[in-house]
Structure 1
């Protein structure tokens, strides 16, 4: 079968790959769509994401949906999971279940987790950008009625956004600032609105990115490089930094009210990043991180099924054979929001 494999910075190949067989407790899934994520782009451009560096070839991808083909041993009739032929989304995380974080109900920061398409451990965890993949059977989620596979491919990044908004606290009736209008930032807008935010202001350098933020429900659009933009709020109740740059974090810290909450969602560059730490002290700002997600995956599928407006955030669907072009397009935010790879019927 064919798969999208990263061999090093700038070395992305669509190549033949061994067809997997499901082991005990596993499901075999025929992948239909896979979303190109910012972390996939980092592996492609830089050979790593954050502190996770490539040390061997790796199948990319963790935003995947498809159809159940079958199961390995130990997954019997009592499993109650999706039967073969069912369209499903794949939860990409396999937490260990025994570490202190898992025991504390924070499986998304499990110290020994396995995550599709991640170089965080060695051997790397091979990802979902392949014609067929095997995953633990309990990581399958049958799609809600009325949710097409194409839109369901947004479930993983929307889950990230929902978790970030949850980390910001109760935003109902509040004003939320989002810095960065990439695919995740746009989904944070939608998640904040779904949580009842009264107003969402979004900043970005690119007018095209801001246009997608408006489609996601943003009330105010601000050019991040224009300090005189009239849309800049004097004060917000909470802020989510989704750009992954220090300047975005600085804007959040300077615009959030005293006692407000700032959530760092974007992955900052490796090493030290400067930030206005004195403001955290003098204004008693809550600065929190947000990493991946857990149970939000099911909430994301329900939300996607109820709102076809999410379709507007999918800017391109590209055949697997043209994966290098898809990555080029996904990296150009002046031309795209969320780009999907199509693995065929």
Structure 2
């Protein structure tokens, strides 16, 4: 059997190709992918050939946000049956390294992650019509949940982990800088966890409109209103927590300015080295914490989508069939009109 794949051969060199797909083996299932979300890392691979030290060195099938329908099961693939709609967890820690032994699976030394160019050979991704995965990677979607909703489980898991790094958010004032997919989902998590206020910033109106649908109590276009955050910096700051989702130096500075003493900056966005106002960080005793991927949170993300406690539908801006992949990537890179763009598969 052959399956179509979306494979990147180099910067702006995206090809739809066919490769063989084998029947599922022991503990495996064959999934017909229905929807796959284009992530920021996919865009960086496509537009720039990578990000930071992570570079595409060989052809790679992109995609790590995906869901589909089980069409065949191998021996011992317990808990799943033909016809089940499942979200696919792209994270496959080894289970044996020192970090896995401590339960820190997201820091696994031998992590395999679908669609990642970090390792050589690269870990191939999920943008394909059919894929064989481990049954343990699959979490069932509830009846009535769209496959496109289930495909948002991976970015939501990232934001659940980020919310956990922030601690108890009940009654707190929260700032989210950047309203891309991760920003709007962080806003949704803050609202779900009982934040009293959730203020979201961005440079574009379209993603801010989505943020308002997903839990923001106020949105600020900092390109059009560059001084709008200044009142929040008065008297040493206002917010208790900031989820910084841009990794842009001006946004990091405004976050530190707007956080009150003893506030927490959760750095979600990633980039290379940036300049930060260290004196202000120290003087206000702000805690800065990183957040990296997820592991147990993936099942929680699916459960939140299944119950629609987090309704991800507003963030799904457009969907394109696989044969229009280049158009989909172009749309995903246009923040004036898109938050999350999906590829769909036949």
TM bracket, shorter-chain basis: over 0.9
Matches within 5 A, 1:262-277: 262-268=265-271, 270=272, 272-277=273-278
Q: Match for residue 303 of structure 1?
A: 304
Q: Paired residue for 1:96?
A: 94
Q: Offset of 1:24 from its aligned partner?
A: 3.8
Q: Which moved more, 1:300-309 or 1:330-339?
A: 300-309
The superposition leaves residues 316-337 of structure 1 with CA deviations (integer Å, 9 ceiling, x where unpaired) of 1111100100000010010111
The equivalent of 1:247 in structure 2 is 250
Q: Which residue of 1 aligns with 2:29?
A: 27
CA distance in 2 between partners of 1:222 and 1:331 (Å): 21
Counterparts of residues 127-206 of structure 1 (less than 5 Å)? 127-206=125-204
Q: Does 1:290 align with 2:296?
A: no
> Would you say the 8 A contact 1:221–1:231 is kept in 2?
no
Give distance in 2, aligned partners of 1:214 and 1:167.
23
Cα pair 1:222 1:231 within 8 Å, conserved: no
Once the two structures are TM-superposed, the CA of residue 21 in structure 1 deviates from its matched residue by 3.6
**Stretch deviating more after TM superposition (152-161 or 118-127):** 152-161
Structure 2 gap segments, 5+ residues each: none
Number of aligned positions between the proteins: 338
Q: What is the root-mean-square deviation in Å for CA atoms of aligned residues?
A: 1.6
Most deviating of 99-108 and 321-330:
99-108
> Displacement of 1:295 after TM fit?
1.3
Q: Alignment partner of 1:233: what SS?
A: helix
Partner deviation per Cα, 1:119-150 (whole Å, 9 max, x = no partner): 01000000000011122221111112432212
Deviation at 1:230, TM superposition (A): 6.4
Counterpart residue number, 1:281:
282
Distance (whole Å) between structure 2 residues aligned to residue 52 and residue 96 of structure 1:
21
Does 2:333 correspond to 1:331? yes
Moved over 4 A (4+): none
Distance (whole Å) between structure 2 residues aligned to residue 233 and residue 210 of structure 1? 19
1:168 Cα deviation from its structure 2 partner: 1.0
Match of residue 52 from structure 1:
54
Partner of residue 256 from structure 1, selected from 256, 259, 266:
259
Question: Which residue does 1:39 correspond to in 2?
Answer: 41
**Cα 1:231/1:161, change in 2 over 3 Å:** farther
Deviates more, 1:215-224 or 1:329-338: 215-224
Partner residue, 1:5: 7
The CA distance in 2 between the partners of 1:97 and 1:275, in whole Å, is 36
Q: TM-score, normalised by structure 2?
A: 0.93
Whether contact under 8 Å (1:314, 1:338) holds in the other structure is: yes
Q: 1:7 to 1:221 in 2, by over 3 A?
A: same
Report the CA distance between 1:30 and its aligned residue: 1.1
SS at match of 1:128: coil
Unaligned runs of 5+ in 1: none
Within 1, Cα distance between the matches of 2:23 and 2:278? 51
Query: 2:229, 2:27 → 1: CA distance?
Result: 56
Mapped contact 1:220–1:231 kept (Cα < 8 A): no
